[in-house]
């Protein structure tokens, strides 16, 4: 059913770039909506207490500038040298893990172009009732982490 009042295109003018962003954002939420039942048992994961929470983490690491002192002006840093460290955090109920426990939680991918440097750091969530694992990729800069390319990744609990 189409709404009787559709302002897009008449009152709200969108550029091609803005339309592309909205289309990409809509695709993200469409994927979320179709993945509410990840084990395909016919029951939404949240109702069977088997939901996963995924959080993308982004940490900017700008090159350092210098503060000004008395008669010396501040020197701004060059943002072209900025590096963004990324990681993926996945958490869920401990009952989702098999008897092998936390040591066997894995993330692999992307399909067709797998990384060899995906590391997982496991933490407990909700006391001992949940799991929380952060996946990241090492990089040559030490404390920062490389990003994940767009693609399909496989998450395994056992």
Domain ranges of the chain: 40-156
Which secondary-structure segment (H or E) carries 29? helix 16-34
* Tokens matching residue 37: 């039942």
3-state helix, strand, coil in the chain (%, to 5): 20, 30, 50
For residue range 6-40, what is the model confidence (pLDDT) as tens digits?
Answer: 666 677 788 889 888 888 887 777 766 667 777 77
User: Burial level of 134, CB count in 10 A (0-12/13-18/19+)?
Assistant: middle
CB-based contact 90:136 (threshold 8 Å): no
pLDDT in tens, 105-126: 889 999 999 998 888 887 766 6
Quick one: tokens of 18?
A: 């803005």
């Amino acid at each position: 059913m189409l709404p009787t009042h559709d302002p897009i295109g008449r009152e709200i003018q969108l550029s091609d770039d803005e339309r592309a962003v909205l289309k990409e954002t809509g695709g993200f939420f469409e994927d979320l909506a179709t993945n509410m039942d990840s084990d395909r048992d016919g029951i939404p994961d949240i109702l069977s207490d088997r939901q996963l929470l995924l959080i993308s983490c982004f940490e900017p690491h700008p090159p350092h500038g210098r503060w000004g002192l008395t008669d010396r002006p501040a020197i701004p840093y060059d943002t072209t040298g900025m590096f963004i460290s990324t990681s993926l955090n996945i958490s869920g109920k401990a009952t989702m893990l098999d008897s092998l426990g936390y040591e066997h939680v894995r993330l692999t991918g992307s399909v067709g172009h797998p990384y060899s440097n995906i590391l997982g750091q496991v933490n407990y969530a909700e006391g001992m009732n949940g799991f929380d694992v952060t996946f990241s990729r090492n990089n040559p800069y030490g404390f920062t982490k490389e990003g994940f390319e767009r693609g399909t990744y496989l998450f395994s609990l056992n």
